[in-house]
Amino acid sequence: MYELILEGMTCSHCAKTVEKAVLSAEPSSKPSVDLDTQKVTVDNGDIEKISQAIEDSGYSVVSTRKL
């Protein structure tokens, strides 16, 4: 399980966009997006691929950590 801290999410549409980006990169990752804390938690998957998909969607990945 990984936690990614993002920058740039301002609304529920942003959170949905991030969720879709994660799922498109890693369909089995089971993302959980928290708009208030700007965190995304994923159960599994290639974290580099997930981070790149988020960045490609216009949001910044500030940090990642394994939980």
Which regions of the chain are under pLDDT 50? Answer: none
CATH for 2-66 is 3.30.70.100
Which pLDDT value is given to residue 12? 97
For the chain, give every domain's residue range. 2-66
Q: pTM of the predicted model, to two decimals?
A: 0.94
Q: Which of 50, 67, 3, 36 is nearest to 59 (CA)?
A: 50
Which pLDDT value is given to residue 9? 97
Give the C-alpha separation, 10 to 2, whole Å.
22
